[in-house]
Amino acid sequence: MPRPLDIACLQTRPRPDFRSALDEALPLAEAAVQAGADFLFLPEYCGGLASRGSALAPPFAAEAAHPVLAEMQAFAARRQVWMMLGSLAVEGPAGKIVNRGYVLDDQGRVRSRYDKIHLFDVKLSEQEIYRESATVAPGGQAVLIDTPFGRIGHTICYDLRFPQLFRDLAKAGAEIICVPAAFTRRTGEAHWHVLNRARAIENGVFIVSPCAVGEVPGGGETYGHSLVVSPWGEVIADGGTLPGVVQATIDLDRVAATRARVPSLSHDRPYTLATPANRSVA
């Protein structure tokens, strides 16, 4: 029997403060619900994003007092819809923040939290340098959430480049793995589509990747092209380069069917690495 799920990625622009972030996201969320979406997915730093030099400087608050989390919980309860908040900046340890994703159920309750593990510390050019670790403390735990629709795995943005995390989530039963992102335009043009398709194909999972689009206040630009990718690697939906709602209906039974066709998750084998220092010569 098919297990259809109507999903929507909200392709929002980076906004510099809580209020403008909410004003950006809530109308799109309402439009998606009116169009029949059962589960809404928002990008990384959907509660606000700005930059200061090479460091990210999103607006942040303690979780218990976070206005974006509170308003999104109220929306989910009022409209009876599940939501993944790709991430919010939340007060963390040692004067830093954590880049934390949430799943809210249709009563507005927080059902899971995930703190981004892999931080975006890269030098793309002399002018384009990012040091997420300057202001963000990394997480250390992979997270799965059971929902009425299926099992979902959290990741965030730069995690996309670390395939073992996706492998572990898939082997633990994930049928959807989410990649909320604020991917840079430069790296997005080069790698976004191929990496999302690769993670889907390698693991026989749906990849749902809401990505922010447009300029970041303070410097930088996000790529957009929010994606929904099938377990076979087909791009079901692509959000392009404008803000909006990216909606698709997926059939979660395709996960088991795809894994039956190519059962690579059960074919992993242990091995050793032969380096020049320990390689035996026949």
Give the bridge partners for 82, in sequence order.
39
> Could you tell me whether strands 39-41 and 82-91 are parallel, antiparallel, or unpaired per DSSP bridges?
parallel
Instruction: Please pick, among 24, 44, 132, 221, the residue that the annotation labels catalytic.
Output: 44
Spatial contact of 145 and 151, defined as CB atoms under 8 Å apart = yes
Separation of alpha carbons 226 and 212, rounded Å: 8
Residue type, 147: T
**Strands 82-91 and 55-56, bridge-based pairing:** unpaired
Sign (positive or negative) of CA dihedral 70, 71, 75, 76: negative
**Structure token digits, residue 136:** 């963000």
CB burial of residue 164 (10 Å; 0-12, 13-18, 19+): exposed
116 is catalytic: yes
Catalytically annotated residue among 24, 116, 132, 178: 116
What distances in angstroms separate CA 143 from CA 153, 173, 196, one per listed residue?
6, 11, 19
Catalytic residue among 46, 157, 178, 211: 157
User: What is the Cα gyration radius of the chain?
Assistant: 19
Closest CA to 252 of 95, 64, 39, 75: 39
Residues acting as catalytic residues: 44, 116, 157
